[in-house]
Chains A and B, each alone.
Chain A
Amino acid sequence: MGDKEALFAEVEEATPALRRYARALCVTAGAIAADDLVQSAIDNAALGIRERRLREGGAARLCAYQALTAAAREELAGSESPKLSARHPAIVQGLASLPFEERAAILLVALEGFSYDVAAEIAATRREALVARLMRARAALSMLDLRPPAPSDGQRRAGSHLRLVK
């Protein structure tokens, strides 16, 4: 019983991170769709705990990430790449333009901090495939200009409405 409760607590503790991952993974689908997927992932993990399929520490969290990724893949199949409005940061727009599997790979590693092995397990693929997706995602996002604006750029923009009159 104690183990079960520890696993439930593990899912509870992971919920904020699951929401972060879902929001980024479903960046084109919106917050409500993302939270729906988190809900279904939590349900899935809870079922695993109830049925005693999940016993070891870390298993429930991993199961929730796996379920979330699989549900998002299914949910977003065929409805990829609607354009986000320009008010979103460049990184978010770039993320939205990535194929699903590449987006999942970079998010699991770069945002959620999973090792390549665990990320591959969550994405239900081999480690080599995951690394290849990660490399493609980074190459695509490298086209974006993510440099912080140089002070001189800011001054130029701020002063652009002024003109020399004398």
Chain B
Amino acid sequence: MGTSPAIDEADLHALVDNEISGEERRRVEDHLASCPEDAGLVDGWRRQNAALRAAFEPVAQERPPLSLRNAAQRNASTGAPPIESGAIHWGRPSSSTRTLRRFEEAPGGRSTQAIASTLGALLVGAAIAGAAVFVITRPDAAPPAPEPSYVERADLAYRTYASDPKPVEFEAAQKDELLSALRLRLGFARAPDLSTLDLKLLGARVAPGLRGPAGVLIYERGDSSARVALYYEKAELAGFPRVAPRVDQALTAIEWRAAGYDFVLIGPLGPESMQQAAERAAAEMLTVTPAQ
């Protein structure tokens, strides 16, 4: 320690932490001016503080996940939220919210739409296959491994099925069959009732997920102007991707984890409507636990 017996290490820490002021502060600062050894200690601690802030301040600048927004006030009236951890709004709402075509207004267009959808899927498939062949056969192939993301799978499922005139394998009217098919493939099935939010269940289908089968429940607005998909799959990946997944700009996606499953609600509604629907779906999904 330094030359002045009146200044001890605790005084130096107190200076760094703004615990002293006035005459006491000046006394310690005068001491540092004449004691390079202690001045070096103080500089080092200040560098530590700056390094800590630099490492963790970005967390405070992030938008808190859905489950932590307004959490105190929300929980005050409803108890603990059903979303167990880190729900994330991946959505990037744009000014031009895309709405799906009103199906009942365009009955003649359904077959055209189906053909267009099929052709689109074939073209996308061919492009993916071509890209895969290119990547595999490239002599110095060392592609950067993209971070897998359930949200991108949900986005793909949405774009593949939601605009289809018959987007589901199992209609809502066959609810027992629907639930047993999902349960058989995913080990868990539940069809949340979102009718209070003007979202009617059309039905569900099993789709290829990221690491196994995924369940896709499709809902439609009462005026048939938009469809929303609730995608879920066993969560085998730890954590959420660090980089925001690529999602159609006109869609909002909300991802959360609960009971070992990853859930993604995706659709063209505004962020607030999607948030309400996600909260509702999360609550209903866990009314019966997956173990049951």
Contact = CB atoms under 8 A, between A and B. Distances in A.
B10 interface: yes
A92 B10 CA distance: 24
A32 B71 contact: no
B290 interface: no
B9 interface: yes
Contacts of B47: 146-147
Nearest to B64: A15
Contact of B55 (A24, A36, A39): A24
A68 interface: no
A109 to B, nearest CB: 5
B13 A138 contact: yes
Interface centre among B9, B17, B59 (most CB of A within 10 A): B59
Interface residues of A, number: 45
Nearest to B17: A109
A50 interface: yes
Contacts of B240: 31-32
Contact of A20 (B10, B44, B49, B56): B56
Given A19-B59, A20-B56, A131-B13, A12 B72 contact: yes
Contacts of B19: 115-116
A30 interface: yes
A45 B75 CA distance: 10
Contacts of B184: none
Given A31-B86, A35-B85, A17 B60 contact: yes
Given A39-B85, A131-B10, A138 B48 contact: yes
Nearest to B49: A110
A36 B48 contact: no
A122 interface: no
Given A50-B76, A89-B51, A23 B56 contact: yes
B23 interface: no
A38 B86 CA distance: 10
B68 A134 contact: no
Interface of A: 5, 8, 11-12, 15-17, 19-20, 23-24, 30-32, 35-36, 38-39, 42-43, 45-46, 49-50, 60, 89-92, 95, 106-107, 109-111, 115-116, 131, 134-135, 138, 141-142, 146-147
5 contacts: A15-B68, A31-B240, A39-B81, A115-B19, A142-B48
